[in-house]
Amino acid sequence: MNKQSQEIIKRQPTPAPVKSTNLGSATTQKVEVLKSFFRSINIPKEKLKPITVAIITASMIFMLILTNINNSLSQGTYQLKKITANIELNSNYQSHGILSDYLKTMAKTIYENNGNNFKEKFAFMRSMTQATLQELDPGKKRYVIMFLRDANLLKISSNKTTALLFGANLAGVKLQDMDLKFTNLQGANLDKADLRGVDLRGANLENASLKNSCYSDQTLFSKNFDPAAFKMRKISNSKKCRI
């Protein structure tokens, strides 16, 4: 190539890039790029058009495939969320049923004994309570504790029967602001429980697990009780008990 030809090439203006505002303009820009590419490799003019059409068609098919994949993924995500919601709804409904059956059975047992000594049926009540607590979420466990407290079944007793909640799974139970004075919580699992504002004066917490349970300035303990020794966490009453 001579010097004059080089000067002409240098003076040729560089085409300004086409800004893509939509799918049509983007496709047009790609077509122009493809044409420029084919011209640079000296493809015969009669073959340029069919090759360009073939590539554009392939690109459109590829875009359609991607769109279908995205739609399928979105539909799959929606279906998964729907299935998860149905499972949670069924689980919640089942949990309500478990709690309702427990309260009815316990109320019937108490009524039939007319407030007399429960020693003979205590083992049945304890096993039923333990099994029910194992199936309930922390929020519903609160209602079990409220029921047992109001039925006067949680007080420290002089008889030699095992505590109703001995070794019970009360992890995460929400007991905020409840009056649990003289409650027998011996051996209970109260890890991560919400004990803010709870009155635990005189409560039996021997061998109970209270790791990461929350308490506040309004929580009342027996004298000489050290929350730090049980690895409890002190937080404000206005804050949520989160782990």
Q: What are phi and psi of 147, to 5 degrees?
A: -65, -50
Indicate whether 173 and 133 sit together in one domain. yes
Query: Is residue 55 in some structural domain?
Result: yes
How sure is the predictor about 118, in pLDDT bands with cuts at 50, 70 and 90?
low
3-state secondary structure of 159: coil
Q: Which residue has the tokens 């006067």?
A: 152
Amino acid type, 205: L
Average pLDDT value for the chain: 77
With a cut of 90, say whether residue 191 has pLDDT above it. Answer: yes
End-of-domain residue from the set 74, 99, 116: 116
Please, what is the angle between helix 122-135 and helix 45-113, to 10°?
Answer: 160
- Cα 129 vs. chain centroid, distance in angstroms? 26
How many structural domains compose the chain?
Answer: 2
39 vs 21 pLDDT, higher one: 39
Indicate whether 80 and 169 sit together in one domain. no
Indicate whether 228 and 205 sit together in one domain. yes
Structure tokens at 128: 């039923």
Amino acid type, 211: K
pTM: 0.60
Query: Is residue 109 in some structural domain?
Result: yes
End-of-domain residue from the set 71, 97, 116: 116
Amino acid type, 100: S
Query: Is residue 170 in some structural domain?
Result: yes
